[in-house]
């Protein structure tokens, strides 16, 4: 972590800034997930250990839910799946839950709680923040989201094994809130499709900008924060929490809805490139589709496998 440090970003709280000059493609840091799970809708198409898409997967013989490329992946994933396996099996035997597994939010929350119980909130000296210090924004949630949160907590309590350490509802709520506003979608091996969601504590410290100077990629199970261009010493490092190709109004709405803040970056204040993104016309004699393609290629240089912030955001 010799290229970045935590600092108080004006108007944003904690953030990360460069401690030396960085160039396009430079890796600022690499980080494994604190915990990650496959999306419900892709549970039978994606390996639950390496997150690769496969035509044929081997199902766990106990819970009948988790699936793997082969025995190597199953063995590699057993540490995370061991407690989960019995919990899924028991959950699927309860009344209306018969034959079902809990949703991805509940499964991710449980994996996080099991890891917290075993290792605490800081996994290594390389982790720059604890999970207790991450924002949950529960007090900012609208009524409909709070109702969904209560349902998830109720189902979590049904899912959480009685022989595991028991936790206060406030602590469980905090983890769900952290997932809601700090979770990152994880891509498959091609980097084109979101296949799961994980929590990466260091990445949670990177603030948003609608024209970011960094992007995030998946590389052999770890995320890498990479510079999109030259970053000066002392400059804040940023990523886009939403699709940067959306027009200002759409970006502002998504950021307010999912991250509870109003973006004041130059692109939002000046509605920069909104005409380009609207499509259906030429700008400076060049077709909009060609300019948009050029923008994408520029921002994804050195980023073959991108992931995007949050479950609600489309991947780059």
Over residues 53-89, the pLDDT tens digits come to 988 999 999 999 999 999 999 999 999 999 999 999 9
The predicted pLDDT at position 259 comes to 80
Q: Is the pTM of this model over 0.85?
A: no
Sheet bearing 194-199, strands edge to edge: 35-38, 194-199, 184-187
The predicted pLDDT at position 233 comes to 97
What rounded mean pLDDT belongs to the chain? 84
Per residue in 11-33, pLDDT (tens digit) is: 888 999 999 999 999 999 999 89
Please say if the pLDDT value at position 189 is more than 80: no
Q: Which CATH class is domain 34-199?
A: mainly alpha
Residue pair 201/315 in contact (Cβ under 8 Å)? The answer is: no
Domain chopping of the chain, boundaries? 34-199, 243-302
Residue 219 pLDDT class (50, 70, 90 cuts): confident
Q: What average pLDDT does this structure show over 195-224?
A: 87
Residue 125 pLDDT class (50, 70, 90 cuts): confident
């Amino acid at each position: 972590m010799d290229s970045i440090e935590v600092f108080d970003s004006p108007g944003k709280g904690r953030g990360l800034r460069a401690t030396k000059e960085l160039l396009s493609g430079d890796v600022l840091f690499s980080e494994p997930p604190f915990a990650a799970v496959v999306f419900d809708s892709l549970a039978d198409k994606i390996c639950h250990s390496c997150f690769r898409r496969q035509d044929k997967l081997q199902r766990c013989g106990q819970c009948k839910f988790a699936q793997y490329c082969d025995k190597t992946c199953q063995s590699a994933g057993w540490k995370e799946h061991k407690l989960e396996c019995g919990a899924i099996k028991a959950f699927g035997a309860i009344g209306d839950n018969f034959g079902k597994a809990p949703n991805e939010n509940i499964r991710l929350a449980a994996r996080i709680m099991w890891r917290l119980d075993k290792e605490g909130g800081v996994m290594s000296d390389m982790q720059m923040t604890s999970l207790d210090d991450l924002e949950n924004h529960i007090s900012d949630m609208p009524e409909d989201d709070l109702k969904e949160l209560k349902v998830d907590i109720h189902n979590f309590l049904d899912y959480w094994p009685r022989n595991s350490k028991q936790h206060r509802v406030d602590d469980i709520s905090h983890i769900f809130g952290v997932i809601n506003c700090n979770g990152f979608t994880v891509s498959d091996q091609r980097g084109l499709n979101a296949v799961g969601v994980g929590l990466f504590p260091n990445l949670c410290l990177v603030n948003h900008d609608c024209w970011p100077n960094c992007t995030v990629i998946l590389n052999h199970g770890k995320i890498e924060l990479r510079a999109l261009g030259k970053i000066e010493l002392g400059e804040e490092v940023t990523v886009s929490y939403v699709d940067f190709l959306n027009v200002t109004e759409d970006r502002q709405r998504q950021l307010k809805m999912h991250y509870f803040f109003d973006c004041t970056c130059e692109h939002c204040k000046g509605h920069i490139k909104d005409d380009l993104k609207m499509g259906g016309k030429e700008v400076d004699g060049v077709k909009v589709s060609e300019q948009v393609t050029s923008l994408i290629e520029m921002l994804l240089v050195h980023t073959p496998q991108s992931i995007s912030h949050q479950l609600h955001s489309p991947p780059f």
